[in-house]
Structure 1
């Protein structure tokens, strides 16, 4: 009798873990989409607000164009 209850408990446990994994994947996808949208918006704002062209890749940004003269 104990083996039957153990098998039922293991099946319930597997179902709960599968549902939790699906929820975690959904939340991860939603967060990734939101972060990407904000990253695109900030890229557009930075290019419009600050002079010169800025090439941004991930967390690094590279400036092309205007360079300030060195103080003599």
Structure 2
């Protein structure tokens, strides 16, 4: 009798573990997508902020070198 209940308990445990595994995989995938979206947004913002400053300073230096007073 005890072995029957033990087998039923192991079966229930396996089902719950499988559901938990699927749930954790879904949460991991959603988290990865959200982090990737924020990384892309941060890269775009940094590129616009720092890229324009660097490009402007390079452009300004090129103008200054070519001028004769």
Greater relative contact order (CA < 8 Å, ≥ 6 in sequence): 1
TM-score, normalized by the shorter chain, greater than 0.5: yes
The TM-score range, normalised by the shorter chain, is 0.7 to 0.9
Which structure 1 residue ranges, 4+ long, deviate > 3 Å from structure 2?
Answer: none
Q: Which has the higher strand share?
A: 1
User: Which structure's residues are more often helix, by fraction?
Assistant: 2
For residues 1-33 of structure 1, give each alpha carbon's deviation from its aligned partner in whole angstroms, at most 9, with x where no partner exists.
Answer: 111000000000000000001000000000000
Aligned to 1:12: 12
What is the RMSD of the two structures over their aligned residues, measured on CA atoms? 1.4
Gaps of 5+ in 2: 59-69
Q: Give the structure 2 partner of residue 46 of structure 1.
A: 46
What's the TM-score, normalizing by structure 1?
A: 0.70
Aligned length: 54
